[in-house]
């Protein structure tokens, strides 16, 4: 972030988490998980149910209570599970002891993203999100710094018009570089399809078990065996019980009954993300939007209400540009009995018709999911070729085996008959290779 954040090296930072809701009780479970993901130790909790206060987000009395809790717990920072405006941030900070940071939900998420970013694309997307978050706040932050006589408040420095120009220029540069990366990735996707692979993307909320499921589906054939063929593919996918373990994309090969597919695990969704933040990761989401099939992974051990909310958010995001069929996967079934699973299937049938129930950790239901993936992928084209026997015929037959599913192969005195099914692009290439064969001179 362009604002100054404490480093995560050394001991955990001590944080008080707080949340305001319009009605009901504030749930702090997710914000605590987010805080833990970057080594915050949650030492205090506070919620309030009321309408938003323009000056403080909470009521002023509740902010006084928050300040007392900070002193009592010796906290280093306050993490607010709301989207704070710059003046609200400043006003809350003014009630707290000096040097106690105020961090809102999106600042925390961007901090997590920044730590998880490993590839150039991920780092650019994080920086773009940070800049888009910072731009509308730049002038307000600087104005607050002057008013409080604390130059550099929240890390921005004194205001001058060049700050906004620099941010906008950098946003433009990042978008151009991401567009270039996206173009190269699209070229790679097309080459994979031309090689006979179907593209399957795993989507869903962070911590739903996507990475563990990827490992199960791809366990029988590792990408490393074809490193020369697909040098951009990763051979591992982390499966830690941690939010945002997967920020970029991880792709591995998997062998189904008749097909080979490329499985891509993508960044996990998280609730209440603003549109600008989702847009910042559009390049990564292209792996989902341009897939042949999407596996929408849901944590089935969560309450129905949470599952429904997450399914709605996922569908809203996916349906913006995705045209591929979606198969919902109820994961973590090992934590439930059969009756509970049946009740959740019935309650969520409108959002998740005919879901596949699995336990990625235990491997239960994975074979059924493989069959479902093969059934849902676009139909392959059937072809039957009569190939003249030449010096190059066997290499063509081998190529067809590598790129499609051979159903019949028979040999005559001067020809080979191959019946197979494959993607239409592969069938076209096979026909062209067959046409190029020249019979051996007698």
Mean pLDDT of all residues in 189-218: 82
What is the pLDDT, as a whole number, of residue 211?
84
Tokens for 317?
A: 């995001």
* pLDDT greater than 70 at residue 226: no
DSSP for 7-64, written as a single string: --SSSPEEEEEEEEESSS----HHHHHHHHHTTEEEEEEEEEESPPBTTTBS-HHHHH
Q: Please report the pLDDT score of residue 234 as a whole number.
A: 42
Cβ atoms of 352 and 398 within 8 Å: the answer is no
Binding residues, as ranges, are: 204-211, 246, 265-268, 331-334, 359-361
**Range 154-172 average pLDDT:** 70
**Residue list, annotated binding site for Mg(2+):** 211, 246
Structure pTM?
Answer: 0.65
Alpha helices in 74-119 (DSSP H): 86-95, 105-116
Look at residue 237 in the predicted model and tell me its pLDDT: 41
Query: Residues 342-389: pLDDT tens digits?
Result: 999 999 999 999 999 999 999 999 999 999 998 898 888 889 999 998
Answer whether 384's CB lies under 8 Å from 431's CB.
no
Q: Report how far residue 107's alpha carbon sits from residue 277's, in angstroms, rounded to the nearest whole number.
A: 11
Backbone angles phi, psi at 7, to 5 degrees: -75, 160
- Binding site per annotation, positions for GTP: 204-211, 265-268, 331-334, 359-361
Instruction: Name residues whose C-beta falls within 8 Å of residue 346's C-beta, 6 or more positions apart in sequence.
Output: none
Confidence at 149, pLDDT banded by 50, 70, 90: low
End-to-end distance of the chain based on CA atoms, in angstroms? 74
User: pLDDT (tens digit, 9 = 90+) per residue, 63-73?
Assistant: 999 999 999 99
41-93: per-residue pLDDT in tens? 999 999 999 999 999 999 999 999 999 999 999 999 999 999 888 889 889 99
**Whole-Å CA distances, 70 to 42, 76, 416, 429:** 11, 8, 80, 68
Return the SS3 of 13: strand
Question: Could you give the CA distance from residue 361 to residue 98 in angstroms, rounded to a whole number?
Answer: 46
Among 10-14, 101-105, 169-173, 386-390, the least confident range: 10-14
Task: Please give the pLDDT value at position 49.
Answer: 95
């Amino acid at each position: 972030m362009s604002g100054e954040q404490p480093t995560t090296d050394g001991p955990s930072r001590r944080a008080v988490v707080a949340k305001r809701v319009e009605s009901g009780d504030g749930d702090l479970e997710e914000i605590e998980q987010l805080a833990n993901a970057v080594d915050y130790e949650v030492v205090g909790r506070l919620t309030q149910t009321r309408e938003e206060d323009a000056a403080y987000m909470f009521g002023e009395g509740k902010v006084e209570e928050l300040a007392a809790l900070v002193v009592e717990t010796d906290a280093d920072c306050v993490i607010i599970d709301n989207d704070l405006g710059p003046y609200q941030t400043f006003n809350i900070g003014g009630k707290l002891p000096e040097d106690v940071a105020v961090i809102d939900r999106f600042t925390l998420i961007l901090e997590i993203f920044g730590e998880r970013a490993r590839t150039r694309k991920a780092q650019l997307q994080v920086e773009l999100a940070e800049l888009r978050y910072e731009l509308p706040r730049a002038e307000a932050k600087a104005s607050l710094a002057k008013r409080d006589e604390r130059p550099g408040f929240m890390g921005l420095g004194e205001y001058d018009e060049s700050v906004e120009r620099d941010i906008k220029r950098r946003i433009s540069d990042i978008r151009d570089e991401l567009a270039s990366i996206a173009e190269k990735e699209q070229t790679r996707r097309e080459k994979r399809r031309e090689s006979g692979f179907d593209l399957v993307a795993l989507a869903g909320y962070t911590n739903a078990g996507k990475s563990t499921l990827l490992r199960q589906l791809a366990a029988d054939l590792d990408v490393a065996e074809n490193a020369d063929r697909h040098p951009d593919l990763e051979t591992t996918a982390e499966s830690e019980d941690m939010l945002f373990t997967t920020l970029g994309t991880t792709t591995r090969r998997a062998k189904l009954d008749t097909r080979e597919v490329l499985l891509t695990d993508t960044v996990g969704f998280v609730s209440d993300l603003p549109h600008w933040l989702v847009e910042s990761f559009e390049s990564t989401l292209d792996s989902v939007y341009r897939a042949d099939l999407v596996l929408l992974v849901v944590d089935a051990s969560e309450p129905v209400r949470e599952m429904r909310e997450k399914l709605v958010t996922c569908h809203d995001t996916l349906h913006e540009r995705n045209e591929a069929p979606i198969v919902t996967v109820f994961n973590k079934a090992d934590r439930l009995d059969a009756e509970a699973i049946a009740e959740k299937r019935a309650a969520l049938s409108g959002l998740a018709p005919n879901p596949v129930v699995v336990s990625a950790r235990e491997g239960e239901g994975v074979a059924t999911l493989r069959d479902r993936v093969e059934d849902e992928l676009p139909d392959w084209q059937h072809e039957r070729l009569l190939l003249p026997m030449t010096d190059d015929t066997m290499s063509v037959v081998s190529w067809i085996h590598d790129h499609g599913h051979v159903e019949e192969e028979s040999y005559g005195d001067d020809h080979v008959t191959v019946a197979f099914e494959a993607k239409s692009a592969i069938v076209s290439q096979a026909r062209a290779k067959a046409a190029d064969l020249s019979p051996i001179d007698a």
